[in-house]
C-alpha cells in the first residue's frame, strides 16, 4: 500500500530535495506520471492544451471537477491539486469557500491552487483556516491575460519585482503550503525562495526554486511551438503524426486489418 503525499509533506520539503510536479488532466496519464511525481496539478491549462481554448478565462468549475475526478482515479501516491478557474474565487471569500469545498468533495483531491493577485491572499487565509490546503501562484498569472494583453514574463521593472515579491510574501503568510512562481527571471525567483518559508515551485522561473512544474503536453512535445523554458522530453507530436499517417496508408491499401487482427467464427459460415 502506497502512502499518498499531502500538503504537510510538500511543505516539509522547503529547501530540501527538489519537488517534482507536472500537470495531468486524465486518468491514464496520471497513472503513468504518478510514481515519478510528488504533486500532480490539474491545471486550468486544460482549457488550452486539451479543449483548444485561446486562454484559461473560459475554463469552468465543472471542467475542473471532471478532469480532477479523472486524475484522482489514476494517481495513487502523488498529491493531487486542482486549479480554481477564473471567476470561481475572486468575487469573495464565501464564494471561494463554496467553490473550493465543492471541488474538494467531488474530486477527493488533496488541495486547490489559486492565482494570488493582490486581493487573493485574504481569501487564501480564509480557506486554509477552514481546512482547505491552498497552493498560491504568483508572477505571470495566466488568468490576468486580458488585463495584460498577453502572456508576459514578470519582474522586468523594479516596481514589478516589488509587487511580485509582496504577493509571494502575502501568499505564504496567508498559509499557502507552496507557491508556484511563473515567468520570472532567476534573480527574483531566488529572492522569493529565500524570503518565504514555503516551497516555491517554478515554471519558467529558473532552477532557484524549491521545485519545478511543467505542462505535461509541453514536455511531451505535443505542440509545434513551446516557450523557451520548456524542455521537450519526448516528441509525441512526431510519434502521433507518424502513427496516423501509417494507419491511413494501411487502411487505404487494405493492409489493415490483417488476419491476426481479425475474428473468425469456429464453424464455417
Ligand atoms: O494551469 C497550469 O497548468 C498551471 C501550471 C503551469 C502552474 O497553472
Ligand atoms: Na493554471
- What is the Å distance from ligand 1's center to 228 Cα? 16
In short, whether 205's Cβ falls inside 6 Å of ligand 1 is no
Grid coordinates standing for 219? 514536455
Is the pLDDT confidence value at 267 over 80? no
**pLDDT tens profile 237-252:** 999 999 999 999 999 9
- Tell me how far CA of residue 158 lies from CA of 153, 187, 191, in angstroms: 13, 12, 13
Ligand 1 neighbour 123 (Cβ under 6 A) = no
Ligand 1 pocket, residue 218 CB under 6 Å: no
* 75 within 8 A of 34, measured Cβ to Cβ: yes
Residue range of the domain that includes 41: 7-235
Query: Is residue 253 pLDDT above 70, yes or no?
Result: yes
User: What is the Cβ-side half-sphere exposure of residue 89, based on CA atoms within 13 angstroms?
Assistant: 31
What does the alpha-carbon distance between residue 67 and residue 46 come to, in Å, rounded to a whole number?
8
Grid coordinates representing 139 are 508572477
* Residue at 150 is within a domain: yes
Identify whether 13 is part of a domain.
yes
ipTM: 0.99
Q: Answer whether residue 241 is part of any domain.
A: no
Portion of the chain with pLDDT greater than 90, in percent:
94
Please give the DSSP secondary-structure letter assigned to residue 184: B
Per annotation, catalytic residue among 31, 182, 239, 261: 182
C-alpha 266 to ligand 1 mean position (Å): 54
User: Does 106 reside within a domain?
Assistant: yes
Task: Give the domain CATH number at 207.
Answer: 3.20.20.60
Residue 143 is predicted with a pLDDT of 95
Q: Is 107 close to ligand 1, i.e. is its CB under 6 Å away?
A: no
Q: How far is the CA of 266 from the centre of ligand 2 (A)?
A: 55
Q: Which residues are annotated as a binding site for Mg(2+)?
A: 44, 83, 115
Which of 45, 85, 183, 223 should be mutated for ligand 1, with most atoms under 8 A from CB? 45
Give the position, in ligand 1's atom list, of the atom nearest the Cα of 115: 8
Which pLDDT score, from 0 to 100, does residue 268 have? Answer: 67
99 lines ligand 1 (CB under 6 A): no
Q: Binding site: residue ranges?
A: 44-45, 83, 113, 115
Q: How far is the CA of 95 from the centre of ligand 2 (A)?
A: 19
Domain count, the chain: 1
Ranges of H-type helices in the chain: 7-11, 27-33, 46-49, 61-74, 93-107, 120-129, 145-148, 158-173, 186-195, 216-219, 236-252
Residue list for the binding site for 3-methyl-2-oxobutanoate: 44-45, 83, 113
Q: Is residue 260 part of a domain?
A: no
pTM for the full predicted model? 0.97
pLDDT for res 24: 99
The verdict on residue 255 lying in a domain is no
Query: Mean per-residue pLDDT for 226-230?
Result: 95
106 is catalytic: no
Is 201 part of any domain?
A: yes
Asked if residue 263 is part of any domain, the answer here is no
Is the Cβ atom of 21 under 6 angstroms away from ligand 1? no
Amino acid at each position: 500500500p502506497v502512502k499518498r503525499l499531502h500538503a504537510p509533506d510538500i511543505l516539509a520539503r522547503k529547501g530540501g530535495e527538489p519537488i517534482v510536479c507536472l500537470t495531468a488532466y486524465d486518468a491514464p496519464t496520471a497513472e503513468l506520471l504518478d510514481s515519478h511525481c510528488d504533486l500532480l496539478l490539474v491545471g486550468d491549462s486544460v482549457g488550452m492544451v486539451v479543449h483548444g481554448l485561446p486562454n484559461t478565462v473560459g475554463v469552468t468549475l465543472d471542467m475542473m471537477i471532471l478532469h480532477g475526478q479523472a486524475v484522482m482515479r489514476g494517481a495513487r501516491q502523488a498529491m493531487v491539486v486542482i486549479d480554481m478557474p477564473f471567476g470561481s474565487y475572486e468575487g469573495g471569500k464565501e464564494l471561494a469557500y463554496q467553490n473550493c469545498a465543492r471541488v474538494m468533495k467531488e474530486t477527493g483531491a488533496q488541495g486547490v491552487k489559486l492565482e494570488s493577485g493582490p486581493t487573493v491572499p485574504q481569501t487564501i487565509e480564509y480557506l486554509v483556516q477552514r481546512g482547505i490546503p491552498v497552493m498560491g501562484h504568483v508572477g505571470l498569472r495566466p488568468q490576468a491575460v486580458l488585463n495584460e494583453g498577453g502572456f508576459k514574463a514578470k519582474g522586468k521593472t523594479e516596481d514589478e519585482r516589488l509587487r511580485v515579491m509582496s504577493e509571494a510574501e502575502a501568499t505564504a503568510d496567508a498559509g499557502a503550503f507552496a507557491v508556484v512562481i511563473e515567468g520570472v527571471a532567476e534573480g527574483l525567483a531566488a529572492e522569493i525562495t529565500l524570503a518565504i518559508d514555503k516551497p516555491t515551485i517554478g515554471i519558467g522561473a529558473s532552477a532557484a526554486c524549491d521545485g519545478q512544474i511543467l505542462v505535461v503536453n509541453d514536455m511531451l512535445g505535443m505542440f509545434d511551438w513551446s516557450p523557451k523554458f520548456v524542455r521537450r522530453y519526448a516528441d509525441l507530436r512526431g510519434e502521433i503524426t507518424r502513427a496516423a499517417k501509417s494507419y491511413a496508408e494501411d487502411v487505404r491499401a487494405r493492409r489493415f486489418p490483417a488476419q491476426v487482427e481479425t475474428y473468425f467464427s469456429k464453424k464455417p459460415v
